[in-house]
Structure 1
Amino acid sequence: MVKYLEEITVLTPNDCFLHAVREKTDYDFPIHKHPEIELNLILHSKGALRVIGDHIGEISNVELVLVGSNLPHGWLTHKYQFVDQPQKIKEVTIQFHENILDSLIERNQLIYLKEMMAKASGGIFFGEKTIHKVKDKIISLSTDKGFYSVMELLMILHDLSLADDTKILCDEKVNFYENHKKNERLGKILNYMHDHFQKDISLSEIAKVSGMTTISFNRFIKKNTGKTFIDLLIQIRLGHAYNLLIDSNYTVSEIAFRCGFKNVSYFNRAFKTNKNKTPLQFRHEFLTCCKRTIV
């Protein structure tokens, strides 16, 4: 069972954002979380390990990730060795309050920014094309320019919101929040599925909740999520299973039943299809990666 370090950042309620640049030869900070949203740029760190929510992945020489509020995250030394690198690790971190834009983000002109902030709840990975576009702006950002500092941050976030080389690292979390905002009917459906995922949900039952026929419901779900009803329900159940594998001491069988799977073998197959590893392998790998975390 993992208990994440609750980081208390130095960002005060009166500050708009924090900007920090660090150089180091390894990673010595445990997996942690905090209410602030974080943009992390990492250079010269090939072979290090990225842990974002339930995602684990090895990074290359350039890394840029936007981490949502209270999403557990951290980077571990893993295969990185300073002796093999021409330069030290350079880490540039920008932290800002979740409500930095308040009602401004609801305006039509900032729709892409609003969507990006919603997706950040699952962690957004940016490709090299976007990194090269914003890297210098992120590094040179300063908190000493008053109003202009805030404008520079907004320009960075604007550029990121338009990026087309992104990847969501924790899909099972993001799809719910992202799709919830598309329309009220879809939000009602997803809320119901998240509230009742532990029990059997029939197609006729969920169609009735949505106020549609089963045929219309199937078309609606496929169009708005890209998944069938059954696939979406399995994804939601797996999302809760990931959390229990990380945050509880329940056995795999107990987790399967608590997440609505009536058959442990089926749960194992569905999990392996989604994560390319069994639930036990996932738990072992995650706990091994987080061995520095305070428990």
Structure 2
Amino acid sequence: MVLTKPLLFRVPTVDDRSFRIEQDNAPHFYGQLHYHPEIQLTLIKQGEGTLIVGDKVDRFGQNDILLLGANLPHVLRSDPGYYQPDSVQRATSVSVLFRSEILEATMLNLPETKHLNLLLQEAKHGVRLRCGTGNLLTEQLEELPHQRPFEQLLSLLQLFDNLATNPDREVLSATAYARPQRPDDQRRLEHVFAYIIRQYALPVSLEDVANVANLTPGAFCRFFRQHTRKTFSQLLNEVRIENACRLLRESQENISQIAFSCGYTNLSNFNRQFKEIVGMPPGEYIRNYRL
């Protein structure tokens, strides 16, 4: 897959509404790292895969709620099975996109809504809330497309209030993004992230990924550290271990087979990286998941 599209998204507007509601229903989510000037509130109704928000690499799944700040690079990369020609899996979501300056100048400028400004500050790093089925927040988001515009505005404020007061929400990225400074740098990151997600199961050298970024290895290391606060090997290990967690939950393969299928040729190295990233050995992870 060759990535040629620019990273910046222009969200179309068809009227003078202060926010826009979108419903996605497709074989898989859009798989390129991108950003846009709108803040995005999304409910994942169906779908699983790799989540990248700023410098955070993790999983996303059904009933996740994401609040992503303006110009925060992100991607929901569906699992490989969603891309198979005979797949019956679907990726569905409900999203609200809005310009923060509109709400900040109006509804969020009231004394009663001052607490919501902290949530919007957290959104610059990305916020996630993992919900169960039958959760009030997921029901509110699913109902949004069927409401009148005034009802949608009231529901949106209530959603923000519920998120802002929920102690289970988590901030995702260590780095906040105010606006992209150089589009060429963002495109380089897009190519690098896409390459790693596509090739993680194979041997990936520093020279390989530096070539993708069209930089020398030394220049690439400085570039990558500056923009992600990580080394290339850290990100590669995070992507590999994230996929290993998925396979440990879903497949019948043993730990050695999973380590090999995620790009590790040395089991002890896999175990060490897994414990460092997940906080426990693979065997304990399986036992905890099956409790």
Fold shared, TM-score > 0.5 on shorter chain: yes
Task: Classify the secondary structure of the residue corresponding to 1:69.
Answer: coil
Given that 2:31 and 2:78 are in contact with CA atoms closer than 8 Å, whether structure 1 keeps it comes out as no
* Structure 1: distance between partners of 2:4 and 2:23: 28
* Cα distance change on mapping 1:106 and 1:163 into 2, 3 Å: same
* Structure 2: distance between partners of 1:2 and 1:170: 26
- Look up the match of 1:69: 70
Task: Classify the secondary structure of the residue corresponding to 1:94.
Answer: strand
* Cα distance change on mapping 1:256 and 1:108 into 2, 3 Å: same
Structure-to-structure mapping, 1:243-282, within 5 angstroms: 249=215, 251=217, 279-282=231-234
TM-score normalized with structure 1 length: 0.56
- Look up the match of 2:190: none
Quote how far apart the aligned CAs of 1:39 are.
Answer: 0.7
* Structure 1: distance between partners of 2:225 and 2:87: 45
- Look up the match of 1:88: 90
Quote how far apart the aligned CAs of 1:102 are.
Answer: 2.5
* Structure 1: distance between partners of 2:163 and 2:134: 9
* Cα distance change on mapping 1:251 and 1:13 into 2, 3 Å: farther
- Look up the match of 2:52: 51
Quote how far apart the aligned CAs of 1:114 are.
Answer: 0.6
Q: Check if 1:135 corresponds to 2:138.
A: yes
* Structure 2: distance between partners of 1:76 and 1:112: 32
* Structure 2: distance between partners of 1:168 and 1:109: 24
* Structure 1: distance between partners of 2:55 and 2:167: 23
Which of 99, 102, 105 is the matching residue for 1:100?
Answer: 102
- Look up the match of 1:16: 18
Task: Classify the secondary structure of the residue corresponding to 1:149.
Answer: helix
Given that 1:39 and 1:94 are in contact with CA atoms closer than 8 Å, whether structure 2 keeps it comes out as yes
* Structure 1: distance between partners of 2:142 and 2:217: 45
The amino acid of 2:78's aligned partner reads: T
* Structure 1: distance between partners of 2:140 and 2:238: 34
* Cα distance change on mapping 1:252 and 1:126 into 2, 3 Å: farther
The amino acid of 2:19's aligned partner reads: F
Which of 121, 124, 127 is the matching residue for 1:124?
Answer: 127
- Look up the match of 1:37: 39
- Look up the match of 1:209: none
The amino acid of 1:76's aligned partner reads: R
The amino acid of 2:37's aligned partner reads: P
Given that 1:21 and 1:139 are in contact with CA atoms closer than 8 Å, whether structure 2 keeps it comes out as no
Task: Classify the secondary structure of the residue corresponding to 1:125.
Answer: strand
* Structure 2: distance between partners of 1:248 and 1:108: 50
1:6-63 deviation digits (Å, cap 9, x = unpaired): 11101367211111222222234422111000011112323x1111112111223332
Given that 2:63 and 2:133 are in contact with CA atoms closer than 8 Å, whether structure 1 keeps it comes out as no
* Cα distance change on mapping 1:173 and 1:252 into 2, 3 Å: farther
* Cα distance change on mapping 1:120 and 1:140 into 2, 3 Å: same
1:202-227 deviation digits (Å, cap 9, x = unpaired): xxxxxxxxxxxxxxxxxxxxxxxxxx
1:91-122 deviation digits (Å, cap 9, x = unpaired): 11111111132334244322321100011001
Quote how far apart the aligned CAs of 1:285 are.
Answer: 7.0
Task: Classify the secondary structure of the residue corresponding to 2:11.
Answer: coil
Q: How many residues align?
A: 203
* Long gaps (5+) in structure 1: 177-245, 261-270, 289-295
* Cα distance change on mapping 1:258 and 1:125 into 2, 3 Å: closer
Cα root mean square deviation, aligned: 4.1
* Long gaps (5+) in structure 2: 179-211, 241-291
Task: Classify the secondary structure of the residue corresponding to 1:142.
Answer: helix
Q: Check if 1:113 corresponds to 2:120.
A: no
* Structure 2: distance between partners of 1:157 and 1:79: 33
TM-score normalized with structure 2 length: 0.57
